[in-house]
Structure 1
């Protein structure tokens, strides 16, 4: 009897289409991405542009875009499969894809009919790659402290400020930029606005790509905006709705995407370690023969299983329109914590060899460090879970969960002429 390609533990979350996608991504990653990994590792100062072109051939940038615009309309479980399975081979390739899908979420749910008609087909065929620029150098995740501002001059919005850690900063054609459009004493929830800004506009200044600890080949850099003029037609959502655009995209897409990225790295760390201890000589046998090693490896396997089930459970709930904010939060924060523990164990079991760049475990460990802060640090996630729990216990009026708002939002309007897939 043949072993199923997809794990039985995820069987309840996967349709036949999901399983076919799983196999297709695994094959693509092995054939197309794996040969580029070593090249990216040797050139940490360079952005790899070939991977985006390779992904474009599969139209995976349009995984959440409706079929009428040329997309896959495949949902969050499918999106998780794409990122998870790419990350198994390359964290950088998975990061490139996941970072592009967050601004697409903003466009899908807050864009106008004209914006959908113009941009969604281009996103689906990857002729336009998007980024989202929220974080600032001195503010980090403190969105209320944002200093990037846009002022109305009677004809256009004039945008000035600096954004940092922008995923796909050096590849994106269009940036979703969140800026302050109200006075400093205005509530954050009403003070910000989202704008669509083209990378080639006058005043858009991209800082040179600098090497990072992990995700070599992927760009997540700094962009400055020096009095960039933005047409009112390029406001995304309504004036004062930028906080919602940023939160919606981060909570429902960013957290799930980073969970999937971390899961792929986690799985690779377990696999590499099992292979290593099974082959490493020790006494008259192998390192894996020692009970202390098996104890550590068993714990790593259990962590991976927990992370995997929680990740797919959360996005399955999102696909089914269920309230799942807490599940998404837990999947992100626990996914990273469990992977980080496994990554440390993997490095310990590789001992000094794990420090050698010839061993891939050090690449996986470095890439893991990049999944902690984006979309909210562990402290932020746990605080939100505690607040939700206390609100339930005290009977406080609960805000509508973002996942419920997501389920209730209208789908993008169908264009006059459907785009063929």
Structure 2
């Protein structure tokens, strides 16, 4: 593991862990009781500069790469998977600009994202089309030489209620080259965001809908060429969505191991701690083994991106394996806790619900396995990691700006 990390990564991990303990942990009870979107936490995370982990320094970003991004998401998720989901969703929203944005678009948007004033999203999914991106019904119609009208409904959008800009992909023509992506600011007339639904887990995280009712967008807000929307969607999902959700799952596994280990050491059975029972030790060993494997696959994939290596299968496998490992580990932890784990407010129950929310986004298990099978059986497709290599140059990166512990939280 030491080959993946520099001293700068270690300092970043310490910084994020301290932030999570001081600023995130005290908010968990409220998020769990209410289920409300915690916009204050989202803005506080953004204010640290961490959304710009992969944004180059010439655009005021950290220029730190995917390993650093994984560190940030993992450490936040270890304390609160909702906090990790907030960070990863807007880091995912950065991808479209990095891959397809013009020089003018990058200059306009990226410094503001790193500065914490904007939390971008990627809005592809609809109720009738998830991994089947080409099945979307939302449309974009050119109403003049330089204007488009967007109409439709987007669903399950990470950070949906936090302002944007939203990277909306709509159908502008037939077939695979008939999708186009646009930046839609959160205050655009015709953009409506309905109340957030009550979710099974990830309480505090916005994961809702965007309603586009004839939203007029200038052509200057188009991301990529007309017809490149599928590329925007796939490159974002594979190169950012999958490693990001892997990092959230990794944080959940760490938390499950930590909470369950504490429980079996404190709980007494037969004049000794529960941890003395061989059956308990075997199950804890399995949880630790899944943690070790998940950490290796997560950081191997992220490091491959930072080295500019083709690694699409590694990203798919990391997401598939780690989200499944998280679900298995929290189930084991819940069973070890027994009835004590079912009491409201128990961390292991929260982890169980949070883990269940990770397997569908950025591609279900079936999608990941189908893509991996194609690597062996065909048809073979060019790797997105080869099309958009982003090697990180050596040398220390600038540390993220940190709000002092206990400072006022934005409303």
Residue of structure 2 equivalent to 1:18? 9
Matched, 1:406 2:401: no
Aligned-pair CA distance for 1:408 = 7.3
Structure 1 segment 30-109 matched on structure 2, within 5 A:
30-44=21-35, 46-109=36-99
Residue of structure 1 equivalent to 2:154? 163
For structure 1, list consecutive stretches of 5 or more residues without a partner in the other structure.
Answer: 1-9, 412-420
**What are the superposed Cα offsets for residues 236-289 of structure 1, whole Å, 9 maximum, x if unpaired?**
000000000000000000000000001001110011111101111112112111
Residues 401 and 89 from structure 1, CA distance in 2 versus in 1: closer, same or farther, beyond 3 angstroms? same
Residues 390 and 17 from structure 1, CA distance in 2 versus in 1: closer, same or farther, beyond 3 angstroms? same
Aligned-pair CA distance for 1:65 = 1.1
TM-score using structure 1 length: 0.91
Rounded Cα–Cα distance in structure 2 between residues aligned with 1:399 and 1:218: 34
Matched, 1:173 2:155: no
Rounded Cα–Cα distance in structure 2 between residues aligned with 1:310 and 1:376: 17
For structure 2, list consecutive stretches of 5 or more residues without a partner in the other structure.
Answer: 394-400, 402-411
Rounded Cα–Cα distance in structure 2 between residues aligned with 1:400 and 1:210: 38
Residue of structure 2 equivalent to 1:3? none
Rounded Cα–Cα distance in structure 2 between residues aligned with 1:195 and 1:251: 19
Matched, 1:365 2:347: no
Aligned-pair CA distance for 1:140 = 2.3
Retained in 1: the 8 A contact 2:167–2:182? Answer: yes
Aligned-pair CA distance for 1:362 = 0.4
Residue of structure 2 equivalent to 1:28? 19
Matched, 1:328 2:310: no
Secondary structure at the counterpart of residue 151 of structure 1: strand
Aligned-pair CA distance for 1:400 = 2.0
Residue of structure 1 equivalent to 2:196? 209
Structure 1 segment 117-156 matched on structure 2, within 5 A:
117-155=107-145, 156=147
Secondary structure at the counterpart of residue 144 of structure 2: coil
Residues 199 and 87 from structure 1, CA distance in 2 versus in 1: closer, same or farther, beyond 3 angstroms? same
Rounded Cα–Cα distance in structure 2 between residues aligned with 1:227 and 1:354: 48
Residue of structure 2 equivalent to 1:338? 325
Residue of structure 2 equivalent to 1:277? 264
Secondary structure at the counterpart of residue 216 of structure 1: coil
Aligned-pair CA distance for 1:53 = 2.5
Rounded Cα–Cα distance in structure 2 between residues aligned with 1:213 and 1:284: 38
Retained in 1: the 8 A contact 2:341–2:348? Answer: yes
**What are the superposed Cα offsets for residues 96-152 of structure 1, whole Å, 9 maximum, x if unpaired?**
010001121111110011111110111110111111110001222211111001011
Stretches of 4+ moved more than 3 A in 1?
none
Question: Which of 224, 242, 266 is residue 253 of structure 2 equivalent to?
Answer: 266
Matched, 1:253 2:244: no
More deviation in 356-365 or 51-60? 51-60
Residue of structure 1 equivalent to 2:369? 382
**Equivalent pairs, count:** 394
Matched, 1:116 2:103: no
Residue of structure 1 equivalent to 2:285? 298
Retained in 1: the 8 A contact 2:305–2:390? Answer: no
